[in-house]
Amino acid sequence: MELLSEIINDLPDGRVQSVCIGLNWTAVVIESGGIKQCGLSSTLSKGHEHSHEPDVLLAGKLEELSGRELAAYAKEDNPTLASIGVAAINALLHHDPKRWNEANAEDILAAQGAGKRIVLVGSFHFTAHIRDVVKELIVLEQNPGVDELPAEIAPAVLPQAEVVAITGMTIVNHTLEGLLELCSPKTFVMVLGPSTPLSSVLFKYGVDHISGAVVTDIDPVLRVIQQGGNFHQVRRSGVRLVNMSRQK
């Protein structure tokens, strides 16, 4: 939790305007310093249960919390609350466009991994393209499909990887720090996906490149999320993909 704590401690506070927990994505809108921003996170949940214990105890009242109080949910074990917290972090982070570039994350990964041993933590749409250019490709997934391996073998494969790409969803499920500790200092490490905070704190933990998302048109994005849209739909509604690299 040190990584999350450090990110949260660097955040300004703000007034929560809305919290939207969609089927696939969670969005939080916060106004801070006169600027309104929307942050995204993958929606994780425990699954539907007929119980008396609500997943979100303050449902309907989350706007009464401050931005930083909501961001602190990122450290909760409850996956729904953690999703809200990560989205709040992304809504509060100071945007520094001077550090961004809009290069294609797939192209960056292909260039870094050409002829090398690469491990992907999470399934990505570009896996087939990457497989064509790398020496060896291992894909780890919690629920592995065809040509994928279980995430549990990460300790056996990450230390030998030359390039590692990790889904930002690992920030939500609290596995990112452990995965980063398994990577060699010589490994090129990338964290990517809309949940990924565009925070330089990640660079202190061994990340070399961040690929995240910035919401440019809040209302259409919220509408698509509320109606169960996937990320391709959300992106078309008003999301910009940006990259940050560690300054050496």
Per residue in 142-171, pLDDT (tens digit) is 889 888 999 999 999 999 999 999 999 999
Q: What pLDDT, on the 0 to 100 scale, is given for residue 228?
A: 96
Rg (CA), the chain: 18
- Secondary structure class of 97 (helix, strand, coil): helix
CATH of the domain at 234: 3.30.390.100
In this structure, what CATH number is given to the domain that contains residue 175?
Answer: 3.40.50.11590
| 247 domain residue, yes or no | no
Q: HSE, CB side, 13 Å, CA atoms: give it for residue 245.
A: 11
Give the SS3 label for residue 14: coil
Could you tell me if residue 248 is inside a domain? no
* 116/85 same-domain check: no
Please identify every stretch of the chain with a pLDDT value under 50, giving residue numbers as ranges: none
Residue 40 included in any domain:
yes
Summarize pLDDT for 25-48 with one digit per residue, the tens: 999 999 999 999 999 999 998 776
At 94, list the tokens. 């100071």
Domain count, the chain: 2
Torsion (CA) 37, 42, 45, 47 in degrees, nearest 10: 130
- At which residue do the structure tokens 């999470």 appear? 122
H/E element holding 57? none
Task: For residue 209, give Cα distances in angstroms to 81, 101, 164, 181.
Answer: 27, 11, 10, 16
Identify whether residues 112 and 67 lie together within a single domain: no
In a shared domain, residues 190 and 227: no
Q: Same structural domain for residues 63 and 118?
A: no
Q: What strands, in cross-sheet order, belong to the sheet with 209-215? A: 149-150, 136-141, 117-121, 163-167, 188-192, 209-215, 239-245
d(CA 167, CA 158): 14
The SS3 call for residue 29 is strand
Domain residues for the domain of 153 are: 99-212
